[in-house]
A = this chain, B = another copy of it.
């Protein structure tokens, strides 16, 4: 079956597609394919998803997420991450109903891990 990919995560969103369960991310195209469906993502949305998926199964701290995607220190009160997590969630779950992909860890950050809504 599928051994949770323990690939040597490279900081830069490399050029090789990332595959996790029914999700495929193509860095060179800025395109995500979920359950066989092309999911149109904006630049920010795509970078956020990449940052999360490249560390699939691990909790990524808000500070780390922000510096990865927005490229700077996270200012107090900045809600950009929340807004974009929401947008990505919507699109992923619309493409694959009954599944959850991004999980919240209050006080820490977010974790990418495709799971049935059960």
- A29 CB contacts on chain B under 8 angstroms: 58-59, 105, 108, 111
Q: Is the CB of B43 within 8 A of A31?
A: no
Interface residues on A, range: 10 to 19
Q: List residues of chain B with CB within 8 A of the CB of A58.
A: 26, 29, 31
> Could you say which of B31, B42, B103, B106 contacts A106, with CB atoms under 8 Å apart?
B42
Closest residue on chain B to residue A113 by CB atoms? B38
List residues of chain B with CB within 8 A of the CB of A111: 29, 31, 38
Closest beta carbon of chain B to A44's beta carbon, Å: 10
Q: Give min CB distance, A34 to chain B, whole Å.
A: 14
The residues of B that contact A13 with a CB separation of less than 8 Å are none
